[in-house]
Structure 1
Amino acid sequence: MNGLVVFAGLLAFVAFGAFCYFTGMAAGWQDAMEQSQGGQP
């Protein structure tokens, strides 16, 4: 039973991370971060 809970938690964590990663890519988050680090407005 405990193993099932751990597996479900891990699966939810991975799914959440993938969702945030792809959502950030679609929004151009990485490009915005690079511009802010480069000092461009």
Structure 2
Amino acid sequence: MTKRYPIYIDILGRQLICLRQHLSLDYLSNLQIIQQSLEHS
């Protein structure tokens, strides 16, 4: 059992990193959209 846990943690860690990258990309693109809408108004 103890040998399996690091694998699960590794998979979870990778998923979290992927999630964080997607979130930061969405955040950056949202910032650009907000800036553009602010400039137009």
TM tier, smaller:
0.5 to 0.7
* TM-score, L = length of structure 2: 0.64
Number of positions where the alignment pairs a residue of Structure 1 with one of Structure 2:
28
* TM-score, L = length of structure 1: 0.64
Give the ranges of 4+ consecutive aligned residues of structure 1 lying more than 4 Å apart after TM superposition.
Answer: none
Work out which structure has the larger RCO, using CA pairs closer than 8 Å and 6 or more positions apart in sequence. Answer: 1
Bigger Rg, structure 1 or 2: 2
Structure 2, unmatched stretches of 5+, are 1-8, 37-41
What is the percent sequence identity of the aligned residues? Answer: 7
**Superposition CA RMSD, Å:** 0.5
